[in-house]
Amino acid sequence: QKEVEQDPGPLSVPEGAIVSLNCTYSNSAFQYFMWYRQYSRKGPELLMYTYSSGNKEDGRFTAQVDKSSKYISLFIRDSQPSDSATYLCAFLTGGGNKLTFGTGTQLKVEL
């Protein structure tokens, strides 16, 4: 079993749709949960960061963590064409240094 599972997509949605991106993980030692957005030929940009179960909201983005199910999600409301990018989930153990990444989900928001 892979440490992190993330559907690579591509996921295509119409503008204005609610997008749900998900990752499952198997390592119980992960304590920090992140979502990065990466545009083509650019470095990843940190979108959301959390360390507890529950929801965290920032503008149109909501990160959800369910530690009991080992499942994290990123919701994007009112999606825009500018949200078209690859979204990477990332995990960090407590006291750890190295991020463990999902493979990334490619999202395309169409007009």
Partner 1 sequence: GAVVSQHPSRVICKSGTSVKIECRSLDFQATTMFWYRQFPKKSLMLMATSNEGSKATYEQGVEKDKFLINHASLTLSTLTVTSAHPEDSSFYICSARGQGTSGISTDTQYFGPGTRLTVL
List of residues contacting partner 1 (CB under 8 A): 32, 34, 36, 41-46, 49, 51, 88, 90, 92, 97-99, 101-104
Strand arrangement of the beta sheet that strand 4-6 belongs to: 4-6, 19-25, 71-76, 61-66, 54-58
Question: Cβ of residue 16: shortest distance to partner 1, in angstroms?
Answer: 27
How far is it, in rounded angstroms, from Cα 31 to Cα 52? 8
Question: Cβ of residue 100: shortest distance to partner 1, in angstroms?
Answer: 9
Two structure tokens written together for 103: 């493979």
The nearer residue to partner 1, 17 or 67, going by C-beta atoms, is: 67
The nearer residue to partner 1, 43 or 59, going by C-beta atoms, is: 43
Token match 């463990």: residue? 100
